[in-house]
């Protein structure tokens, strides 16, 4: 794993955006895996800026989102489809038909999940997956004890995640769906590169356990220790519980330019 510690979330997001941008320039028909939530917002804003000011071209890019709430129609204010449309897809030149978010209204959820997996395979697999992390260590909505072999499926959110996400539903926990469709950990591990972002003190314990703790299903993100190309972008506060911060900075600062955003 490569650990990139920046002074704040904006600087970390800009560094992550450079990795995404380099991939899209080198492979214009790249397949991106995307996340929602608060964490990737600065990354998406930077990608929009790179599109508008530097001509970063998304016209051949395909995307697959990690997850969606069960029961929310795409136009619902808190659906992840709407989040993606507003925060990334509409301001860039991606073709909407090339963007994929799991179908929260699917009548046959297992069939819809299998079709999602198949669509990823048919697109050539995910080149780069963007991840946030829950304070309990979840990735996508793979909550603690999720199987490392799991594929796209329905999951029940923990009470902690429901409470955490209530802030998007006017603080009303009763409005937060308890079920979601999420890519599995196996699906995420199939991506050729994973980049995780984590900001703020409430992520510090999960970040430390993910990077320096044992690999265990109780801390789902720790599986990234087994990924051949995983980068973790953190701000100072999210890095505060790591033991080897001096080493991570030493490695990053010593990188040759050609390797930096690869
Ligand atoms: C969202 C997702 C989740 C979030 C995580 C962190 O698509 O997959 O794993 O990344 O819950 O959420 P925020 O960024 O809101 O703290």
pLDDT tens-place string over residues 1-29? 999 999 999 999 999 999 999 999 999 99
How far, in Å, from the CA of 261 to the mean position of ligand 1? 23
**155 close to 144: Cβ distance less than 8 angstroms:** no
The closest-lying atom of ligand 1 relative to the alpha carbon of residue 80 is 7
- Tell me whether residue 220 is exposed, middle or buried, using C-beta atoms within 10 angstroms of its C-beta: 0 to 12, 13 to 18, 19 or more: buried
pTM over 0.75: yes
> pLDDT category, 260, cuts 50, 70, 90?
confident
pLDDT at 257: 85
109 touches 127 (CB < 8 A): no
Which of 68, 103, 127, 143 is flagged as catalytic?
Answer: 143
C-beta separation of 12 from 251 below 8 A: no
User: How many whole angstroms separate alpha carbon 35 and alpha carbon 18?
Assistant: 17
Reduced to 3 states, what is the DSSP secondary structure of residue 169? Answer: helix
Closest C-alpha residue for ligand 1 atom 4 = 132
User: Which residue shows structure tokens 């050729």?
Assistant: 192
Atom in ligand 1 nearest the alpha carbon of residue 139: 9
Residue closest by Cα to atom 3 of ligand 1: 140
Segment 53-65, tens digit of pLDDT: 999 999 999 999 9
Confidence label for 258 from pLDDT (cuts 50, 70 and 90): confident
Per-residue pLDDT band at 229 (split at 50, 70, 90): very high
Closest of 191, 225, 202 to residue 133, by C-alpha = 202
Distances (CA, A) of 203 to 30, 107, 209, 242: 30, 35, 10, 11
33, pLDDT greater than 90: yes
Tell how far the Cα of 10 is from the centroid of ligand 1, in angstroms. 17
What six digits make up the tokens of 230? 């995983």
Rounded Cα–Cα distance for residues 127 and 134 (Å): 23
Cα 179 to middle of ligand 1, angstroms: 15
Query: How are the residues of the chain apportioned to helix, strand and coil, as percentages rounded to the nearest 5?
Result: 40, 15, 40
The residues lining ligand 1, judged by C-beta closer than 6 Å to any ligand atom, are 35-39, 66-67, 132-134, 138-141
| Residues near 18 by beta carbon (within 8 Å), at least 6 away in sequence | 260, 261
Of 67, 68, 103, 117, the active-site residue reads: 67
């Amino acid at each position: 794993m490569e650990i990139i510690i920046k002074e704040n979330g904006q600087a970390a997001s800009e560094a992550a955006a450079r990795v995404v941008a380099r991939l899209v320039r080198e492979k214009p028909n790249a397949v991106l895996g995307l996340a929602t939530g608060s964490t990737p917002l600065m990354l998406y804003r930077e990608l929009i800026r790179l599109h508008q000011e530097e001509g970063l071209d998304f016209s051949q890019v395909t995307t697959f989102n990690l997850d969606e709430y069960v029961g929310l129609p795409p136009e619902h204010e808190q659906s992840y489809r709407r989040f993606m449309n507003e925060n990334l897809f509409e301001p860039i030149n991606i073709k909407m038909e090339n963007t994929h978010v799991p179908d929260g209204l699917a009548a046959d959820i297992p069939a819809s999940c299998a079709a999602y997996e198949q669509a990823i395979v048919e697109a050539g697999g995910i080149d780069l997956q963007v991840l946030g992390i829950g304070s309990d260590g979840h990735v996508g909505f793979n909550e603690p004890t999720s199987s490392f072999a799991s594929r796209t499926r329905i999951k029940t959110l923990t009470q902690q995640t429901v409470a955490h996400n209530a802030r998007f539903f006017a603080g009303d926990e009763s409005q937060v769906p308890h079920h979601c469709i999420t890519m599995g950990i196996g699906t995420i591990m199939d991506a050729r590169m994973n980049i995780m972002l984590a900001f703020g003190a409430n992520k510090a314990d999960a970040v430390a356990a993910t990077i320096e703790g044992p690999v265990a299903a109780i801390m789902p993100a720790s599986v990234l220790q087994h990924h051949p190309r995983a980068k973790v972008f953190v701000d100072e506060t999210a890095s505060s519980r790591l033991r080897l911060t001096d080493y991570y900075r030493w490695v990053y600062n010593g990188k040759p330019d050609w390797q930096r955003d690869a």
